[in-house]
Structure 1
Amino acid sequence: MGLKFTVLSSGSTGNATLVANGEVTLMIDAGFSCRRIDELLRERGVTGTELNGILITHEHSDHIKGLGAVARKYNLPVYANTETWKAMEKSIGQIPEENRCLLGTGETRDFGSLRVESFAISHDAAEPVGYSFYDGKEKLSVCTDLGYASDKVKAAIADSDVLVLEANHDVEMLRMGRYPWNIKRRILGDMGHLSNEATGELMSELMNGRLKRTYLAHLSREHNIPDLARMAVRSSMEDRGCFYKDGEFQLRDTYYDRPTPWDVLSEL
């Protein structure tokens, strides 16, 4: 079958992504109620009993809201690094010891034929990470909730066939928005979230002919709009001399209220 994925839902109110290869099915984050996660899974023809585990990026509620309930309901192993486990202990309730699994930052682990690589990102959480997934020659990287992309992040997601990448906010919409200044400063800072323009700048450095699609994820419902995000990211790329035709590369949307279609990397 090869590697495939669907972003079950993404935004400031909740995040979850499903990655599968015919042998293993893993969920990244569980930022919705258990009931809502079950609904999202059903929309993509999957049930919780088919999951082999949950990978956690960090402990903020929009990434772990339903984690404890889902893990207990389906007796699932949960994978996170040491500091993330400490930070989310009080939020997720009891998880059986055998399902409390350590996956250290920078560690690579094989889940059957699916290889997972964790990498550090910059965000105001205990020990936040992104993940890259490998199946044969296929590579998918999922990287949201980062204030800026370090050289190590760029190296970790380089040579991906498909990216799920944050485009959180339009800077002017954020500055003019209703959030108090301390929250705005947090979002705009190096431990906050990527703006549309910053995402475009990063994309211009990653375009090497292999990357075929980038899904713009974790959009703020207050300070961004999908059409604006796509236009701003593309404009930022073009400002840096990175031009492309739609047949060669695509920017795609994710949604706060529904899953994306399954994307099968072997069909690239």
Structure 2
Amino acid sequence: MSMHFSVLASGSSGNAFYIETEEHSFLVDAGLSCKKIGQLMELIDRDPAKLDGIFVTHEHSDHIKGLGVMARKYKLPVYANERTWKAMDGMLGEISTDQKFTFGMETVKSFGSLDVESFGVSHDAAEPMFYIFRMGDKKLVLITDTGYVSDRMKGIIEDADVYIFESNHDTELLRMGRYPWNVKRRILSDVGHVSNEDAALAMSEVVGDRTKRIYLAHLSKDNNMKDLARMSVAQTLASRGIEIGTQFELFDTDPAIPTELSAV
């Protein structure tokens, strides 16, 4: 038995991640319209009507835009921590009480052979958290929307087979770009988003012998480019003695095109 996954969409315009085992299938976040998420799932030959639930990371619109409609249309359980549920109050429309489940910070829930662990990140939301998926000896980590990666986070996420890792912006592009300074300051802060270089520095401390793939996620449309992110991450890792292609590969994600459905 194994996990399969696809980054359906990743970026400031909307985020959704799909993961399945032979027993269950889930989304993490639903930051696009219900219709668009259905179309993206069709591209990986999967049916949203067969989902078993949605895990929520935090209440920002690029992570929950389609959540209410998805939950109502497909009668899906939704999992979020208490503070996130409170923050989403009034943002989702009516969701039946029996579809609302609390997933506490730094706890584990099991769904058959799949263990899902939540962990906190540093972002300007009520109580943002991301997830680790484990099945047997396999481990997949999803971490975006954090201003920095603390030692505590590094200890939790170290030595995964696969990482979906935020690489949001190039610092110089952001500083020179068109955003107002208050927005730039927010992105650059400890509760904003990690840069390409800072992401790579964190990666250099958590990748392990079993790490095979890293997906660069949540790239800014205005302050980053796929080629630039890959180059910056590869150069920073090389400066730490880690060569891309020797131990693991780097992959892109996209705001409108899902990654190939892949096994962990």
User: Normalized against structure 2, the TM-score is what?
Assistant: 0.98
**1:219 counterpart residue number:** 219
Identity %: 50
Partner residue in 2 for 1:87: 87
SS at structure 2 position matched to 1:94: coil
Q: Equivalent residue for 1:19?
A: 19
Structure 1 residue 247: deviation in Å? 4.5
Shift of 1:262: 1.0
Deviation at 1:7, TM superposition (A): 0.2
CA distance in 1, matches of 2:199, 2:241: 13
1:214-249 residue CA offsets vs partner (Å, 9 max, x unmatched): 10000000000001000001111122x232251421
List alignment gaps of at least 5 residues for structure 1: none
SS of the counterpart of 1:220?
A: coil
Instruction: Please name the residue that 1:243 is paired with.
Output: 242
* Secondary structure of the structure 2 residue equivalent to 1:92: coil
The answer to whether the Cα contact below 8 Å between 2:160 and 2:207 also exists between their aligned partners in 1 is no
Letter in 1 for 2:259: T
Distance in 1, matches of 2:185 and 2:244, equals: 36
**Unmatched runs of 5 consecutive residues or more in structure 2:** none
Q: Deviations over 1:151-187 (max 9, x none)?
A: 1211121121000000000001001111100000000
1:84-233 alignment, distance < 5 Å:
84-233=84-233
Give structure 1 regions of 4+ aligned residues with deviation exceeding 4 angstroms. none
3-state SS of the aligned residue for 2:164? strand
Q: TM-score, normalised by structure 1?
A: 0.97
Cα distance between partner residues in 1 of 2:14 and 2:125: 16
Deviation at 1:89, TM superposition (A): 1.3
Match of 1:66 in 2: 66
SS of structure 2 residue aligned to 1:243: coil
Q: Specify whether residues 238 and 245 from structure 1 end up closer, same or farther in structure 2 by C-alpha distance, changes over 3 A only.
A: closer
Name the CA distance, whole Å, in 2 between partners of 1:208 and 1:50.
34
Q: Which amino acid aligns with 1:163?
A: Y
RMSD: 0.9
Aligned residues: 264
Task: Name the CA distance, whole Å, in 1 between partners of 2:42 and 2:244.
Answer: 34
Q: Deviations over 1:51-100 (max 9, x none)?
A: 00000000000000000000000000000000000001111011100100
Q: Are 2:242 and 1:255 aligned? A: no
Deviations 1:14-36 (A, max 9, x none): 00000111111010000001110
Amino acid at match of 2:178: R
